[in-house]
Amino acid sequence: MLKGRHLIEPDDLSVEEIDEICSLAEQMIVDPVAFQDVCRGKILATLFFEPSTRTRLSFEAAMLHLGGSVEGFADAQSSSASKGETLADTIRVVSSYVDIIAMRTPKEGASLLASEYSDCPVINAGDGGHFHPTQTLTDLVTIRQLRGGFEGHTIGFCGDLKFGRTVHSLVQAMCRYKDSKFIFISPPELTIPEYIMENVLIPAGVPYETATRLEDVIDQVDILYMTRVQKERFFNEQDYIRLKDSYILDKNKMKLARKDMIVLHPLPRVNEIAPEVDEDPRAAYFKQVKYGMYARMALISKITGCL
């Protein structure tokens, strides 16, 4: 049962629960009208202490499509945090008004802390460079829709793998499926963190390799997961400027890829995917955005106990 549960990281959901959410999301994709009133009377709070477009609007659209209501803020300066209120007090107050909270913060572990003070379920909508479990559900729904299932895929992760919470979350989730393999493509400064290798990859016995050139490995992957180099995660702007154009996916690189490969991206993109790639049928990142709303609809309806 998912009713009343917090979702802080991908491992909070079992494989069976992920399948349940994905199956419900697929039903919603086919017949959204059938679900338009299931959360009527429920209220979602979106507490976004960090800028966001897709994730916040996706949560809000999901709840509205389910017939519920939304309140919250999109900027920490719009909240009492700007006056010095503690996160614990903010959560105590907000959770007394609403049925479920979606929260984004630049601080790792803040969503877990919030869950300890909340009277209602908390969904982690991204905590710094840590985890982003609903983006993972988005990715999984997309993979199941476009690749038919989760087993037997070679996934290439390209770009900022050090700070990319979407990468960390999807790696953690896909390690649980049979015959997964990962190729991590990045400059040395942005490679996958040691704790992901030591705590996730090695214990799961999942094969992986690293590369510094996308051209050398793109023909080996079934799913290419592109990421932007995130300026907001750097303390030194010179390091950001030096690394931001490290990997750009364009038509020439796509010519090297498999005909049935799909390209995913959590968005927003800057210039790591050339606009010319958008017309390629393998470019799935805008489909991914829409599937994300249905993934969050399914999750919200389960956690609130509406379905």
Q: Which of 6, 104, 165, 302 is catalytic?
A: 104
What whole-number distance in Å separates Cα of residue 230 and Cα of residue 18? 28
Query: Residue 53: exposed, middle, or buried by beta-carbon count in 10 A (0-12, 13-18, 19+)?
Result: exposed
Q: What is the CA radius of gyration of the chain?
A: 19
| Contacting residues for 15 by C-beta, under 8 A, at least 6 apart | 176, 177
Q: Which of 5, 54, 147, 269 is catalytic?
A: 54
Phi, psi of 210 (to 5 degrees): -120, 155
Q: Which of 132, 162, 244, 296 is catalytic?
A: 132
> Residue written as tokens 């609007």?
57
Concerning whether 56 is annotated as a catalytic residue, the answer is: no
Q: Please give the span between the terminal C-alpha atoms of the chain, in angstroms, as a whole number.
A: 10
Concerning whether 130 is annotated as a catalytic residue, the answer is: no
β-pairing, 69-73 with 208-211?
A: unpaired
Q: Which of 46, 55, 134, 154 is catalytic?
A: 55
Q: Would you say 126 and 110 are in contact if contact means Cβ atoms under 8 Å apart?
A: no
C-alpha pair distances (Å), 281 with each of 16, 157, 254: 31, 20, 11
Concerning whether 166 is annotated as a catalytic residue, the answer is: no
Concerning whether 132 is annotated as a catalytic residue, the answer is: yes
What whole-number distance in Å separates Cα of residue 5 and Cα of residue 12? 9
Strands (E), the chain: 43-48, 69-73, 100-105, 122-127, 154-158, 181-185, 208-211, 223-226, 262-264
| Enzyme catalytic residues | 54-55, 83, 104, 132
